[in-house]
Chains A and B, each alone.
Chain A
Amino acid sequence: MQLKYIMNRKKELLKAPRMAVEIAGVRFKNPVLTASGTFGYGLEFANLMDLNSIGGIVVKGLSMKPIKGNPPPRIYETASGMLNAIGWQNIGATEFVTAKLPGLRNYETKVIVNIVGFELNDYLEVARFLNDCPGIAALELNISCPNVEKGGFHFNKNPKDTYKVTAAAKKACRKLPLWVKLSPNVTDIREFARACEDAGADAVSVINTLVGMAVDVEKRQPRLRFLTGGLSGPAIKPIALRMVWEACQAVKIPVIGVGGIARTEDALEFLIAGARAVQVGTANFYRPDASQRIALGLQEYCRSHNIEDINELVGSLHAYE
């Protein structure tokens, strides 16, 4: 009886699907990451989930010096989503490396650092600094934040500028892989994905938030002091999915899907559309263990669908004949 149980268990283990994915030579134990700005510096969630259960953590956008951010109100909930205009508030790269990174190194989960900047040199300075810090798996260049006046977003308005900042950052990165996070607030995301690929980016993250707005009709005032904000959450998922699909058609480098992913099925949609990995964002706020649940859910899906390796799913979308 017991022997039979052990044999079955062994069979089961042998059958356990392989969940690891690789992006630019870095191995992630599964394709579920958390999105920048929605998971703090990771440690905030340590009491509420097992940080080791996910592939990676993308930390809040960092600049070399701390940034104070926008005056409140900074967030507002909308139908199936939320607007935010945080304004790059962060503790600065030095503080991150001394106060947060050592704690994160206790986990086997990969750490990706999202970097922000007003000018080209701001990006390069952080990139160079972080290069020498052990415990960072990749950098994610945020050129797509809509919530800072003169923010890096101007690098995401013209593919030529995207090329320029990516190429310079890639050089500054030396050994660290460089991901570029793209804005959906463009006419054709494929041009921007291609510019990144041509400039040497190792991957693109698609998408950042969509610019939106809400009005308080009693006060006749914008709901956010910054006036506009970035829309995130399930409301943007279909747009994100379409853009991930388009980016996957346009480039050979891995595409990381972000936007409205809250459940296992959402993550599966992105993987099938071609994303090598996914990032869970706003869902972390209302379900702090959302990413862990999705990582488990993906494994369950693979097992029940006899998929031996999650990579079989990536880009497996069948178009109608």
Chain B
Amino acid sequence: MLDRKVKIKSVRDLGSNNYLLTLNAAEQARLIRPGQFFMLKCVEEVDENPLLRRPFTVFNICRHARSGRPAGLELLIKDVGTGTRKLVRMKPGQIIHCLGPQGNGFKVSAEMKNRVEMACLVAGGVGIAPLYMLAQDLMRQNIKPVLFYGGAGASDLVLREYFEKLGMDTNYTTMDGSFGERGLVTEPLARFLHKRAHRNIRVYACGPWGMMQAVHKLSERGKLQCDVSLEARMGCSLGACLGCVVRIKDPHGEDRYLRVCQEGPVFDSRLIDWETEPV
């Protein structure tokens, strides 16, 4: 974990309030694992509002053309409020504070290689962000990733060409039917899993709470392991403020909480009490 001042290399408008932010953060890019995140100060001055840094996962590592060594971080940012609005309005050359990498990422351990044949990557909107690095990691370990990517309309399905370039099978859904199948992303996922019952498939999901809950239920029905990447408002990302907790299922109905910044943000979906949304 490092706290560094990093330079903004570029901010690319992807439409529908999505932006691709590139940071010159080579040192931190070398440390990142899929699913981990960084805390970014959304303005240059530390004492300016918004005070608290915001958590963002990493979409991709950019590399030096010749050496292939990590040169920076690419983050997919959706402008949803005060902090993200200021962040995406920053200009190349400006400097911001960047703390990380933080948290536990996706588990893609070598030991599961022999058992898992396939991985379903399920994204709702900006939830696509942590899945590109994960897809690359899975492929490196010879696990076939299949993408299920849903959004409100075609313009919400940003950066999908990255996944297509990897040669992945992709399934798109939109609520308005403007691209791919009309409806929820869980519909093609349900069909896919139904057709392949008894196969050893692992599921990874990131997106709105309700979507992840639905993916969890589908996985549970198929007795599949499902990892979800959760969101929570964060104060510190250091495990100190206890502001970011998610409620955990307890067999005795007792209160139990885990910190999204420390024990997460990626959790086994069976752990989560899906009745208590943390944001």
Contact = CB atoms under 8 A, between A and B. Distances in A.
Interface of A: 37-40, 44-45, 47-48, 60, 68-69, 71-77, 79-82, 84, 86, 89, 233-234, 262-263, 282, 284-289
29 contacts: A37-B241, A38-B240, A40-B239, A44-B238, A44-B239, A48-B3, A48-B99, A60-B240, A68-B255, A68-B256, A69-B257, A71-B276, A72-B245, A72-B246, A72-B276, A72-B279, A74-B243, A75-B241, A77-B50, A84-B241, A84-B243, A89-B245, A233-B51, A234-B47, A262-B47, A285-B236, A285-B241, A286-B41, A288-B99
Nearest to A262: B47
A89 B51 contact: no
A60 B69 CA distance: 42
Contacts, number: 105
Contacts of A45: 238, 240
Contact of A286 (B52, B244, B278): B52
Interface residues on B, range: 20 to 34
Nearest to B240: A40
Given A79-B49, A286-B46, A286-B53, A73 B233 contact: yes
B175 to A, nearest CB: 19
Contacts of A289: 3
A218 B240 CA distance: 30
B111 interface: no
B240 A284 contact: yes
Contacts of B116: none
Given A75-B243, A288-B236, 8 more contacts: A69-B242, A73-B232, A75-B244, A84-B241, A89-B242, A234-B47, A284-B236, A287-B46
Please indicate which of the listed interface residues A48, A79, A286, A287 has the most CB atoms of chain B within 10 Å of its own CB: A286
B243 A86 contact: yes
Interface of B: 1, 3, 41, 46-47, 49-53, 99, 232-233, 235-236, 238-247, 254-257, 276-279
A289 B53 CA distance: 14
Contact of A73 (B1, B52, B99, B279): B279
B51 A286 contact: yes
B51 A81 contact: yes
B202 to A, nearest CB: 27
A276 B247 CA distance: 41
Nearest to B260: A72
